[in-house]
Amino acid sequence: MFGTNGVRGPVGETITAQTALRLGRAVGTDSNKVVVGRDTRRTGILLEHGLAAGLLERGVDVIYLGIESSPTLARAVEWTDADVGVMITGSHNPQEENGLKFFTATGRPFDRTEHRSILRRANGQSVPLDRPITPGTENMITTFGDRHVNYLQSQFPHFDLSVVVDLGNGAGRVTADVLSSLGCRVTTIHGQPDGTFPGREIEPTEANCKMLREVVPSIGADIGIAHDADADRLAVVDETGAYVSGDTLLALLCDRAAASGHDLVVPVNASTQVETIANKYGQEVIRTPVGDSFVASALTETETPAFGGESSGTMMWSTEINCSDAHFAACNIVSLVASEGRLSTLTEPFNTHVLKRYKYPTQDAELALDRVRNRIIDTYETIEMIDGIKIWTKNGTGWALIRPSRTEPVVRLTVESKSAAMTQSLSDKFDTVVTESVEGIRSIPS
C-alpha cells in the first residue's frame, strides 16, 4: 500500500518482485540514473532484482549501494548526480513487510503528487515498451556509508562521552561509526546486520528498547540511541535509563533550533509545546499532515532556515538535506549532552504536557473517519481538517486528533492537554466516539 513515503506491505502479498519490476519501469520512464539501496531484510535482494530489471529495461544506469541507511541513500543521490534514489525497506514495520521509498535528485522524499504519478504508471502498465532500448549499466559502490561518516565528522567537534547505540540488526551503522570517530566510547548492541532481527522488534519503542534502557545505566553511559531498520528514525534513552518520549525529544530539538533562528515544521499530531517554543524565540510554526514527506516538502518551501520533525523520531534540517537523517540527529543530540549536560536535565522542561496515542484496527479507515465526522461536526466549534479531524476544547487547552493511518489499516487517536486528568477525560470521550464509529474494535495504546 502507498503511504506517505513510498509503498510498503507484506512480501508475497502486497509487495512482490512483480511490484518492484513495475515500479522500476515506472521510475525508469523519465530517469537516466537511479541509486538503489536496501536495509537488512532478507527479502530486500529479490525486490532489488525486480526493481533493477525494470530500470535496466528502460535504459537506466543503476548504482547499487548494497545495505545502507535511508539517510545515506538520500545523500548518495546528490553525490552521484542521479535523478532518483530508491530505498528498499520496510522501515519500522515488522520484518515480514518490505517496500520501496523514493527520493528526488535533491534527496527529498517523493511528495504525494510524485507518488501518485509513479503509482499510476505502475498500476496502469502505461510504460511504453514499443521500441528496442539499450539496457542500462550497473555499478556497485559500497563506500557511501564511509563518505557519510566523514561528512558528519567534519560537522561536529570531538565528544568525550560514553554512548550506547542499539542498531536493532539494521542498516544504521553510520551512527556508531561517526560517534566513535568523534571520540565517543561507543558500545553497540544488536549491531550485527541480520534480516531476521533476532535482537528486538524493529521499531525502537520504549518496550522494544528494554535492553538499551538496562545497558546505559549499567555501564554508566551518558546516552543511548536506537534506530529502526533503515535508520530514518531514532529513539533516545537518558543516562538514568529512562526512555525519552518522541514528543519530548522533538520539543527539545525544536527549542534549540528556534533559539538559533530556525522556523519549525511539524505535523498536526505534534505537541502544542512547539507553538510555545516558537513564540519564545519569535519564530514561525508550519503545521503539515502527518508523514515525513509532508514535513520535508514544507521545509523546501521555507525562505529561512527551518527545522522539521515528528514524534516518531524523524528529524530534518533544511540547511542539511530535506529528508530525515537520524545519524545527523544523533550527533546533534550527543552534542547537546556534551555541551549542556545530562540529558535528563535537558528534557525536564519539556515534560509539561500529557499526550496519549491510541490506534483502532479497521479495514476501512476512511469510512470510519466519515462516521466520526458525522458524529461530531455539529457538536464542536473549533475543528481543523489539515489531516483527519482535530478538535479543540473550548478554552483551547486541550485537543484530540482522529485520523486514518497511511501506513497501517488503523484509525489513530491522539489526545493532549496540560494535565493527566484532562487528557484522560478527553481520551475517554473520543475513545467512545471512535470505537462506536469503528464497529466491534477496541483501542490499543500506540
Active site residues: 91
What's the CA dihedral at 62, 67, 72, 78 to 10 degrees?
Answer: -10
Chain-centroid distance, C-alpha 132: 40
What's the CA dihedral at 137, 142, 147, 149 to 10 degrees?
Answer: 150
Listed in order, strand segments (DSSP E) in 275-376 are 285-288, 306-309, 315-317, 354-361
Phi, psi of 360 (to 5 degrees): -130, 110
Which strand (E) or helix (H) includes residue 374?
helix 365-376
Question: What is the C-alpha R_g of the chain?
Answer: 22
Nearest-CA neighbor of 186 among 234, 146, 224?
224
β pairing state of 410-417 and 61-67: unpaired
Half-sphere exposure of 425 (CA within 13 A, CB side): 10
Listed in order, strand segments (DSSP E) in 107-222 are 138-140, 162-166, 185-189
